[in-house]
């Protein structure tokens, strides 16, 4: 009984350690991928795709990420995808970010230079939240710190 099944004394498997061999990956048809490629002939949100494919948004997101790694789809903005062949100039993936309402509120007030105290009063946000948002926006080049305590949108 060299490595066989103890109960039935079956011969050892010729497939190795029980997992599928990765030397020759099977090229199987992906029904979900084909359905997504049909749905993505025009830009759609993950929610629209999920409804069209009758799957959950998280399931679709996983498929879209895998398809992006295979260069089949591109993400146009946060949660909006399209087929690679339908998008001539895809945006830089790193530049796509989620909308942040707090940062948008701060940016609306920064048309003129404002102090940290002024921004806290105008937005109703805590000081540490305001500073964290200001640092992120400054790192992206959206705002600048003019004097010791004044912040303003770039170009204003």
Instruction: Give me the domains of the chain, ranges plus CATH numbers.
Output: 31-92 (1.10.10.10), 101-153 (1.10.10.10)
Whether 40 and 83 have beta carbons less than 8 Å apart is answered as yes
Does the pTM of the predicted model rise above 0.75?
no
Mode of pairing for the β-strands spanning 73-77 and 80-83: antiparallel
The reported pLDDT for the residue numbered 16 is 55
Mean per-residue pLDDT, 108-130? 89
Whether 102 and 136 have beta carbons less than 8 Å apart is answered as no
In whole angstroms, what separates CA 85 from the centre of its chain? 20
CA distances for 85 relative to 31, 36, 42, 77, 88, angstroms: 19, 14, 10, 17, 7
| Residue 31 in tokens | 């029904």
CA-nearest of 110, 155, 156 to 130 is: 110
pLDDT in tens, 52-98: 999 999 999 999 999 988 888 888 887 888 898 888 776 666 666 66
pLDDT in tens, 78-91: 788 889 888 877 66
């Amino acid at each position: 009984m060299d490595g066989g099944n103890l109960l039935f004394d079956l011969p050892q498997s010729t497939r190795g350690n029980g997992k599928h061999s990765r030397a020759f990956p099977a090229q199987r048809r992906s029904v979900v991928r084909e359905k997504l490629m049909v749905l993505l002939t025009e830009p759609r949100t993950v929610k629209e795709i999920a409804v069209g494919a009758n799957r959950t948004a998280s399931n679709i997101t996983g498929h879209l990420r895998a398809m992006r790694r295979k260069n089949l789809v591109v993400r146009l903005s946060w949660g909006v995808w399209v087929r690679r062949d339908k998008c001539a100039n895809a945006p830089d993936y790193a530049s796509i970010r989620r909308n942040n309402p707090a940062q948008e509120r701060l940016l609306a007030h920064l048309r003129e230079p404002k102090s940290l105290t002024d921004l806290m009063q105008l937005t109703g946000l805590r000081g540490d939240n305001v500073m964290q948002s200001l640092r992120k926006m400054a790192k992206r080049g959206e705002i600048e710190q003019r004097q010791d305590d004044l912040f303003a949108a770039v170009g204003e």
